[in-house]
Amino acid sequence: MAEQELVEIEIDGKKLQVKPGSMIIEAADDADIKIPRFCYHKKLSIAANCRMCLVDVEKANKPLPACATPIMPGMVVRTQSKEALVAQRAVMEFLLINHPLDCPICDQGGECELQDVAMGYGKSVSRYTEGKRSVKDKDIGSLVATDMTRCILCTRCVRFGQEVIGLPELGATGRGEHTEIGTYIEKSLTSEMSGNIIDLCPVGALTSKPFRFKARAWELEQGTSVAPHDCVGSNIYVHRHRDKVMRVVPKDDESINECWISDRDRFSYEGLYHEDRLTQPMIKKEGAWQVVDWQEALTFAVDGLKKVIDDNTAAQLAAVASPNSTVEEHYLLQKLVRGLGSHNIDHRLRQTDFSDQLATPVSAGLPISIEAIETQEQILLIGSDVQREQPIVGHRIRRAYLRGTNVCVINPMDYHFNFDVKEKIIVSPSTMLQELAAVTKAVLDQTQNTRHGKVADLLKQVTVSDSHQRMAKQLLGAGDKVVLLGAHGLNHLHSSQIKLLANTLSQAISGQCGYLTEGANATGASLAGAIPHRCAANLGVAKSGLDAKQIWQSQLKAFILLNLEPEYDCADPQMALASLQQANFVVSLSPYMTSTMKDYANVILPVCPFAETSGTFVNIENKWQSFAAAAAPQGEARPGWKVLRVLGNLFEQEGFDYTVSTEVRDELKVAVDGMTMTQTNQDHIPSTLNFSANVDLERIAYPPIYRTDNLVRRGESLQRSGIAEAAAVHLSANTATQMNLADCEQVTVKQNGQHVNLPLHVDGRVPDNCVYIPSGFAETAMLGVTSPAALTLERS
């Protein structure tokens, strides 16, 4: 499109050059001229129903709403003339007619748009003496509190539901004075982004339930931080009161999260104050746990590890870190472990296929910017419940879809999305590979592409059907294209083959291939060297250490764990726990203490979780985002990087003399910037593709959105919210009938000699001959996640 010519208008005497077709309010906002508003929001459609934005436009015979009046060349607008002020004052008076004016007991007090605008534009007394309407409060779940009498019917929340999250759950029912905002039938909101209506609501009608009556806006201090759950790295503000985190709200960043954040990022802070928090170092002596000071705990840890290394070799030591740890922590952890002589370190906890690690780039995320997802014309999702895994990426895909983008999926479950899917293939995890192969073959055939000869050879036996041809044709359509791999792709039993095909496919359609990695900092962890096959900044190692799977298989004698709860975080929780239990010495750096941890660990060092430590996360766009601690550590807890630094000192290793965390980051950053990107990048071509499942009933497993990491699992309000899942067995109707099982009954799941009783749900999303049992729950922790071991179900 050709650059549109700008037109000149004048607002309050200022001459402005503006885009034709934009509204007066946009021009004024860009020029920093304040126009009061309630219903207008830059990310929502225009409703023009509050009339607060009335301005005086020359040659118009009445005041006009600035949010709904398009600009015309030569327009002269006054926001402060007598007419404008009279109109604004009158509107304000009307808006307050039914408003309870209960600011002293309203949670929004002090940060209320209505309060502010009334102060600026209203009168000091009301002439209204009649009765005010009152509206019954609604219960819309554990996250958003309602005081609907305060609602001014701006419909921002309604439009947010319809437009942004595509879940029209809220609406305006009734008429005239009886109009009410609500869900009509009381029910919890079921969006992963519902908390944003708290920020959108200009009054105190929708407020944060967990934050209710906890503090006043003016008592809070604000720190900036980065959300610690997914690879997007949403920018957030952390609000604290007397050193305690009181709430989290979004920080605008157009390139990442815009003005939104997911509910997980907003409400997980509650987990900081869970009763599991460990506030003092603990050691286990002769089987009994005792609280000790840091000095003693650290010496105990160092002596214990030294003894194992001295009695055996350093190869008996492994370190396993959560991908949610900071760059600084990953870097120091690997520096420590490598300094002690071991390359056994990993953060890829749910991955089980590492066969391609030497052939592929050290870190792979998104080759395009998060913003650019919106401008793709074709998107293929492979093994991804993107809306629940990375809500902001899901949001960008929805925006793309609303623009007309075609989305195709190849998934192991028929996940519900707030965008329509053009072509979809829903098959068991093992068949996903086969289907992807068929689509790839169809693309290669349709384009008569010969550049991928080796892969094409692997695909010879693959049968291509109509659905594959259709998807291939779609993907070959015009425009920018991206193939996105989600958790079910990256953690697939044969993820190397999935990646190979996804990369081949994306090249063949002239698109890009992106990995939606797990946790907040997988990219950072890889760059920092928390991987067995490369040191920090992609430096090669003579011989790779053990990967996350081998570490648990090898009956090692000593472990250092960082931020880890293996029973929930690992691909095979049973194997991980068994491995830890047989070890001689386990040091766990963790914000929480659990009974399982007490079982296997010898020392637990309380490290600071998110918000209490400074650090850096690298998101999938390879953007390094550093943050300072936003709240004080609890009790004796210390930032992980400091603990690792002292451990380095106690082991008398070189190069552990940092005073601030930014020194750690800078050391790595310099290395990464100078990093030779001579990534071998050759395709890792297996001799054959593994299409068969080997088991009759395939398990689909992934932690649901609020079970992904140690912090969010302890967010109480999230656990009670509308989309929280419980441990259960999900089967398709067909499979349930075949197994003679009925909805809602209790079934016994058996695997590897373990068994557990769970309720059964007949779930239309699950393909036949598969069973979806979410991981991340105590109840399901004994089952292998991507384990190929046979699993059976029977009536309890």
Partner 1 sequence: MNDVKEKSALSQPAREEIDKWVAKYPEDKAQSAVIPALHIAQKYNQGSLTDSIIESVADYLGIPKIAAFEVATFYSMYELKPVGRHKMGLCKSISCMLMGADELGDHLQKKLGIKFGETTPDGKVTLKEVECLGACRHAPVVHMHNRYYESLTPEKADELIEGLE
**For residues 18-37, which are near ligand FES according to CB under 6 A?**
37
Give whichever of 180 and 263 is closer to partner 1, judged by the CB atom: 180
Shortest spacing between CB 199 and ligand SF4, in angstroms: 10
Contact 59, 83 (CB under 8 A): no
Write the secondary structure of 753-768 as one string of H (helix), E (strand) and C (coil): CEEEEEEEEECCCCCC
**For residues 628-657, which are near ligand FES according to CB under 6 A?**
none
Shortest spacing between CB 387 and partner 1, in angstroms: 17
CA dihedral 16, 19, 23, 25 (to 10 degrees): -40
* Separation of alpha carbons 333 and 271, rounded Å: 24
* Separation of alpha carbons 25 and 42, rounded Å: 10
Give whichever of 20 and 168 is closer to partner 1, judged by the CB atom: 168
From ligand FES, ligand SF4, partner 1, none, interface partner of 151 (C-beta below 5 to 8 A by class): ligand SF4
Contact 351, 551 (CB under 8 A): no
Interface with ligand SF4 (CB under 6 A):
151-157, 181, 200-203, 205-206
Of 610, 619, 627, 614, the closest CA to residue 523 belongs to 619
Q: Which of 18, 38, 401, 505 forms a contact with ligand FES (CB under 6 A)?
A: 38
* Binding flag, residue 338, ligand FES (CB under 6 A): no
From ligand SF4, ligand FES, partner 1, none, interface partner of 48 (C-beta below 5 to 8 A by class): ligand FES
Give whichever of 185 and 677 is closer to partner 1, judged by the CB atom: 185
Amino acid (1-letter code) at residue 442: A
CA dihedral 736, 738, 742, 748 (to 10 degrees): -70
* Binding flag, residue 368, ligand FES (CB under 6 A): no
Shortest spacing between CB 742 and partner 1, in angstroms: 16
Assigned token pair, 249: 């709200």
Shortest spacing between CB 150 and ligand SF4, in angstroms: 7
Give whichever of 45 and 173 is closer to ligand FES, judged by the CB atom: 45
Sign of CA dihedral 788, 789, 794, 796: negative
Give whichever of 181 and 766 is closer to ligand SF4, judged by the CB atom: 181
**For residues 58-97, which are near ligand FES according to CB under 6 A?**
65, 67
Q: Which of 7, 18, 27, 50 forms a contact with ligand FES (CB under 6 A)?
A: 50
From partner 1, ligand SF4, ligand FES, none, interface partner of 174 (C-beta below 5 to 8 A by class): partner 1
* Separation of alpha carbons 144 and 200, rounded Å: 12
Interface stretch with partner 1, choices 142-150, 173-181, 546-554, 740-748 (CB under 8 A): 173-181
Shortest spacing between CB 176 and partner 1, in angstroms: 9
* Binding flag, residue 40, ligand FES (CB under 6 A): yes
Contact 322, 625 (CB under 8 A): no
Q: CB neighbours of 121 closer than 8 A, spacing ≥ 6?
A: 36, 52, 85, 88, 89, 92
Give whichever of 168 and 635 is closer to partner 1, judged by the CB atom: 168
The shares of helix, strand and coil residues in the chain, as percent rounded to the nearest 5, are 30, 20, 50
* Binding flag, residue 168, partner 1 (CB under 8 A): yes
Contact 386, 231 (CB under 8 A): no
* Binding flag, residue 170, partner 1 (CB under 8 A): yes
* Binding flag, residue 185, partner 1 (CB under 8 A): yes
Shortest spacing between CB 113 and ligand FES, in angstroms: 11
Give whichever of 96 and 576 is closer to ligand SF4, judged by the CB atom: 96
754-to-293, 771, 785, 789 alpha-carbon distances in Å: 39, 17, 13, 12
Shortest spacing between CB 94 and ligand FES, in angstroms: 12
Amino acid (1-letter code) at residue 130: E
CA R_g for the chain: 28
Shortest spacing between CB 761 and partner 1, in angstroms: 15
Q: Which of 48, 359, 541, 762 forms a contact with ligand FES (CB under 6 A)?
A: 48
Q: CB neighbours of 205 closer than 8 A, spacing ≥ 6?
A: 146, 147, 148, 149, 150, 151, 152, 181
Per rule CB under 8 A, count of chain residues that contact partner 1: 11
Shortest spacing between CB 102 and ligand SF4, in angstroms: 14
Shortest spacing between CB 79 and ligand FES, in angstroms: 12
Interface stretch with partner 1, choices 178-186, 428-436, 595-603, 743-751 (CB under 8 A): 178-186
Give whichever of 153 and 442 is closer to ligand FES, judged by the CB atom: 153
* Separation of alpha carbons 325 and 189, rounded Å: 31
Give whichever of 85 and 372 is closer to ligand FES, judged by the CB atom: 85
Shortest spacing between CB 345 and partner 1, in angstroms: 49
Amino acid (1-letter code) at residue 383: G
Amino acid (1-letter code) at residue 62: K
Residue 752, by phi and psi: left (phi above 0), alpha (psi -120 to 50) or beta? left
Report the DSSP pairing between strands 624-627 and 615-618: antiparallel
Classify 149 as helix, strand or coil: helix
Q: Which of 12, 26, 107, 169 forms a contact with partner 1 (CB under 8 A)?
A: 169
**For residues 611-630, which are near partner 1 according to CB under 8 A?**
none
* Binding flag, residue 172, partner 1 (CB under 8 A): yes
Site string for partner 1, 394-433 (x = CB under 8 A): ----------------------------------------
DSSP track, 556-572: -SEEEEES--HHHHSSS
Q: Which of 7, 18, 53, 308 forms a contact with ligand FES (CB under 6 A)?
A: 53
* Separation of alpha carbons 777 and 704, rounded Å: 9
Query: Angle at Cα 402 formed by Cα 401 and Cα 403, nearest 5°?
Result: 85
Give whichever of 157 and 535 is closer to ligand SF4, judged by the CB atom: 157
Q: CB neighbours of 213 closer than 8 A, spacing ≥ 6?
A: 107
From partner 1, ligand FES, ligand SF4, none, interface partner of 175 (C-beta below 5 to 8 A by class): partner 1
Interface stretch with partner 1, choices 99-107, 168-176, 211-219, 600-608 (CB under 8 A): 168-176
Looking at residue 50, the DSSP 8-state letter turns out to be S
For binding to ligand FES (CB under 6 A), which residues are involved?
A: 37-40, 48, 50-53, 65, 67
For binding to partner 1 (CB under 8 A), which residues are involved?
A: 168-175, 183-185
